[in-house]
Amino acid sequence: MVDWILDKIREVDVEEIHLVTNHRFAAAFEQWAPDDVRIHDDGTTSNDDRLGAIGDIAFVGIDDDLLAIAGDNLFEFSLGDYQAFWRTKDAASCVAVHDVGDRELAKKYGVISVDESDRITSFVEKPENPASTFIATATYMFARDHVRLVRTYLDDGNPPDQPGNFVAWLQARERVYAYRFPGRWWDIGDASQLLEADNLMRREHGLPERAEYSIEN
């Protein structure tokens, strides 16, 4: 998965690539890391002390425009096209959004509404009654001035996990746009989507499919 995302990142103009991991997996990532990827061990060892996705952005301390991608995002669209869209928005931020076509599935994600210019006008995290099936995927392009607001967001006592919480907070204060991407997308943090994506890739490469995943503690 990380190699897949890294191949996508190399389609765009970036100066540095950072990967944040907890302490448990830091050594494995250090062993894997190509020369152009910097690994950050955030020192956490459990869900009880984890910094959260927004906390990890603050931990790295980037003061620049930022492309942020969650490691459980499997997508096919071009980050180069996404970056080109973002650059037309003049120092705003963007979220890659996808129509999941199912309101029950949409309940698991941040559901968005936009105006005629694709500026996000509402962002509701995991709504009980989704207004649409357009959801935010965890692929963001933040303008530098908006990255600097991460510390303000955290200092105000807002949730440090689930980056959609930061986007919901941000879009109420600054310009944030929706990039509607083509192609397929899976949240492989969801077991059923992981199985679907895995079997799709297996079929495409002539490999036997899985019926299920076993779970080991």
Cα separation, 166 vs 20, whole angstroms: 18
What six digits make up the tokens of 177?
Answer: 């746009």
**CA neighbor of 49 nearest in space, from 24, 19, 18:** 24
- Does residue 98 contact residue 135 with C-beta atoms inside 8 Å? yes
Tens of pLDDT, residues 98-112: 999 999 989 989 999
Cα separation, 89 vs 179, whole angstroms: 11
Predicted pLDDT at 217: 45
Cα separation, 22 vs 164, whole angstroms: 20
Boundaries of every domain in the chain: 2-204
- Does residue 3 contact residue 32 with C-beta atoms inside 8 Å? no
Tens of pLDDT, residues 153-192: 999 999 998 888 999 999 999 999 999 998 889 888 888 8
Predicted pLDDT at 170: 96
Given pLDDT bands bounded at 50, 70 and 90, which one contains residue 204? confident
Tens of pLDDT, residues 16-46: 999 999 999 999 999 999 999 999 999 998 8
Q: Given CATH 2.40.50.100, say whether it is the number of domain 2-204.
A: no
